[in-house]
Structure 1
Amino acid sequence: MRLTLVPAPDPRVYDDAVRSLPITSPLQGWGYGEARRTLGQEPLRFLIRGQGGQTVGALQLLRKRLVPGFSTLYAPRGPALESLDLLPAVAEAVRRVARPGDALLKIEPPQPVPADGRAVVPSDYGPFRRAETEQPEHTIVADLTRSEDDLFAGLHSMARRNVRTAQKLGVVAGRDDDFEAFWEIFTATNERAQLGAFPRAYYETMLREGNAYGGEAYLVLSRYEGRALAGGLFLAMGGTTAYLFGGSVRDDRLREDGTPYKDAKAPDAFYWNAMLDAKRRGYTLFDFWGIPRVLDESKHSYGVFKMKLKFSEMRVWYPAYDLSLNPAAPAIVRALRWRKTRNNLRKRGSADDVL
């Protein structure tokens, strides 16, 4: 099948297509591209049309300039499609619109592959070859089509106990507009774990633009006696909501008699109420967004993994695939890996990736 990429300048028309496709992701939404624009990346949006003119997909590409004359094209958790069988034809369609300096195309098809040892991750899709991802390749998801009672029963016993404790202590968790509280939690978590972060404008833009044209971007905070102790930023589209950024802080307050506040289990309340909120608003898949490919108990990421695992044991892969667009592509892949390793060493003193 020959496919055609038709430029999509209308954000509502584009997001309507992304939202309606069966294989889709919030990162293919218009708002995510606008957030990436603040980082100097150029979002390009297309509707993917079949030979009869019908829309069979939508594609948001981020053009990322490397050095003068060369750039890469990246489809974050995309493209959105009717079927993965269309990917070989998508490759040829992108070749026809790529610039001479576009050396490489990276895609991350938003179709999860169960990480249960029984499913095989495809090594290729036509000319696309398995490659490193930019988004977390390994993650935990929760099926929100189950009843609330079934969801709660499926939590680890420690999570159920902690959620009940938080409820008894009066922890309040839910959607919240307090960006300053989120930012305090997020930056404190990053500093504690030696993680990098984008400029503040990136997250503010994602919240604003992610809500503008048909998707959703929102905050969930977990508060104990008024103070936000855990929270996150979510991006949603179609049936999926994704917990992209967040964290938690310790409650270091003292009561009037000098005694410390109790551990109110605010992070557990955050996760559980975020899941309930998503379910009640019609989302069917909750993406906890990233766990380590290789488990190491000495690393911060292991604690994050154990926390998420208390709320769902459904682990999946979202593999990436590369398509060379000109002969410089192999050298560019090596250069990108070298740059990522250097950044890891500079930020955390380790060459290993976070996830």
Structure 2
Amino acid sequence: MNTQICHSKSNWKEGFGEKSEESFLQSWDWGEFQEKTGKKVLRLQVIDNSSVVYQIQVYIHELALGKYYAYIPRCIIVDAAIFAKITNFLANYGVVFVRIDPVSPFEVKTAYRTEVVKNRQPSDTILLDISEDEDKLLAQMHGKTRYNIRLAQKRGVQIKEEENSDIFWELHRQTSKRDGFCGHDKSYYEHMIASPCTRQLVAYKNNTPLASNIYILHNSVCTYLHGASGNAHRNDMAPHLLQWKGVELAKKHQCHEYDFWGVAPEPKHKNEEKALHSHVWNINHSLSGVTRFKAGFGGRRVTYGRSHDVILSSFWYNTYRLAKKIRGII
């Protein structure tokens, strides 16, 4: 077996096969989007007897002194020998460590030391099966969620599909200031919205943008990736109607599942517990507020494997960790 870089979109698609279940984070289109934002992307294929037996999309991040680390999101590790081919290729590329966000628990034996680290992608999500008709999907929601969808419609909120990064950026700016978080810069969202795998919905009232969501369509899954809402007309419940129209959009594109992306993990202790509808989560987690919103739509929880660093160079990895600690102190 040997490892090589794939340079062909059609070969990449063929490598996953017709019944592939890889995440959009492993798709060619998402890799292209990341390249436009300045990321280095390696699409690695393991070849055996002229056939692709495994492939993985790797995002290369630069460290100091000409060193790198590799990030592999939502990866499915199938075999220790194949994984060794990937890690050896990356070690020769100058990678200090490989950070893996696995789909399932990372249990592959490797010659390299590993450490459990914080997940970069959300560790938990809610997946909604949207194969049922719309009446049944509405009926299985929490009553308050269903009420808020109809309230938004009654109050004249209208949803339009468009490609407008200026509107999203302004709403995002208001959201981040209100909720106290930092997102990406404007060009990041511009490139994302322009990607062929992306769809954008905007909620309006009297021609005023109230909220906007960005969705990713891939492998029959529609992922609600980013949302933003303004400070005006917040009682008109535009985000609730946006989610519902997102489900309708997903069904229009023959998706079978709707992914709400990040939610708070399950509580470890009884006094941390918060519940709504069919969901229970840790009320002290930073995603508790958005989890309450998403839980009302139903669906089932999915928990991914814990992230690991696979350390290809102990010296440089320890240097990197020390530098991070010093920067944190300063």
The TM-score, its normalising length taken from structure 1, stands at 0.77
Per-residue displacement from partner, 1:124-162 (whole Å, max 9, x unpaired)?
223376542211112222122233222211211111111
Distance apart, 1:313 and its partner CA: 4.3
The one of 85, 90, 110 aligned to 2:82: 90
CA distance in 1, matches of 2:322, 2:38: 19
Q: What is the DSSP-based 3-state SS (H/G/I as helix, E as strand, rest coil) of the residue aligned with 1:35? A: helix
Q: What is the DSSP-based 3-state SS (H/G/I as helix, E as strand, rest coil) of the residue aligned with 2:63? A: strand
Residue 223, structure 1, aligned to residue 201, structure 2: no
Q: Which amino acid is the alignment partner of residue 66 of structure 1? A: L
Give 1:27's aligned residue. 25
Assess if the C-alpha contact under 8 Å between 1:26 and 1:32 holds in 2: yes
Q: Which amino acid is the alignment partner of residue 95 of structure 2? A: D
Q: Which amino acid is the alignment partner of residue 25 of structure 2? A: L
Distance apart, 1:309 and its partner CA: 0.9
The TM-score, its normalising length taken from structure 2, stands at 0.82
Distance 1:325 1:192, change over 3 A: same
Q: Which moved more, 1:9-18 or 1:217-226?
A: 9-18
Distance 1:151 1:333, change over 3 A: farther
Q: What is the DSSP-based 3-state SS (H/G/I as helix, E as strand, rest coil) of the residue aligned with 1:276? A: helix
Distance 1:198 1:129, change over 3 A: same
Distance 1:313 1:144, change over 3 A: closer
Distance 1:159 1:332, change over 3 A: farther
Give 2:254's aligned residue. 282
Give 1:179's aligned residue. 165
Residue 327, structure 1, aligned to residue 327, structure 2: no
Give 1:271's aligned residue. 243
Give 2:225's aligned residue. 244
Q: Which moved more, 1:301-310 or 1:166-175?
A: 166-175
Map residues 1-355 of structure 1 onto 2, 5 A cutoff: 4-15=2-13, 17-18=15-16, 20-49=18-47, 51-78=48-75, 84-86=77-79, 88-98=80-90, 99=92, 101-110=94-103, 122=105, 124-127=107-110, 130-208=116-194, 210-211=195-196, 216-251=197-232, 263-293=235-265, 301-319=287-305, 320-328=307-315, 330-331=317-318, 334=321, 338=325, 342=328
Q: Which moved more, 1:126-135 or 1:164-173?
A: 126-135
CA distance in 2, matches of 1:102, 1:273: 43
CA distance in 2, matches of 1:186, 1:106: 29
Distance apart, 1:6 and its partner CA: 3.0
Q: What is the DSSP-based 3-state SS (H/G/I as helix, E as strand, rest coil) of the residue aligned with 2:69? A: strand
Assess if the C-alpha contact under 8 Å between 2:215 and 2:222 holds in 1: yes
Give 1:255's aligned residue. none
Give 2:278's aligned residue. none
Distance apart, 1:240 and its partner CA: 1.8
Distance 1:233 1:335, change over 3 A: farther
CA distance in 2, matches of 1:142, 1:333: 40
CA distance in 2, matches of 1:250, 1:158: 22
Per-residue displacement from partner, 1:77-128 (whole Å, max 9, x unpaired)?
235xxxx533x233211133223631111222346xxxxxxxxxx3522337
Q: Which amino acid is the alignment partner of residue 204 of structure 1? A: E
Q: What is the DSSP-based 3-state SS (H/G/I as helix, E as strand, rest coil) of the residue aligned with 1:67? A: coil
Q: Which moved more, 1:67-76 or 1:96-105?
A: 96-105
Distance 1:226 1:12, change over 3 A: farther
Distance 1:13 1:217, change over 3 A: farther
| Identical aligned residues as a percent | 23
Distance 1:329 1:149, change over 3 A: farther
Unmatched segments (≥5 aa) in structure 2 = 268-280
Q: What is the DSSP-based 3-state SS (H/G/I as helix, E as strand, rest coil) of the residue aligned with 1:76? A: strand
Distance 1:89 1:186, change over 3 A: farther
Q: What is the DSSP-based 3-state SS (H/G/I as helix, E as strand, rest coil) of the residue aligned with 1:77? A: strand
Assess if the C-alpha contact under 8 Å between 1:74 and 1:106 holds in 2: yes
Distance apart, 1:317 and its partner CA: 1.5
The number of residue pairs the alignment matches comes to 311
CA distance in 2, matches of 1:177, 1:332: 44
Distance apart, 1:298 and its partner CA: 7.2
Unmatched segments (≥5 aa) in structure 1 = 112-121, 253-261, 347-355
Q: Which amino acid is the alignment partner of residue 77 of structure 1? A: R
Q: What is the DSSP-based 3-state SS (H/G/I as helix, E as strand, rest coil) of the residue aligned with 2:75? A: coil
Provide the alpha-carbon RMSD of the alignment: 2.9
CA distance in 1, matches of 2:303, 2:126: 9
Q: What is the DSSP-based 3-state SS (H/G/I as helix, E as strand, rest coil) of the residue aligned with 1:141? A: strand
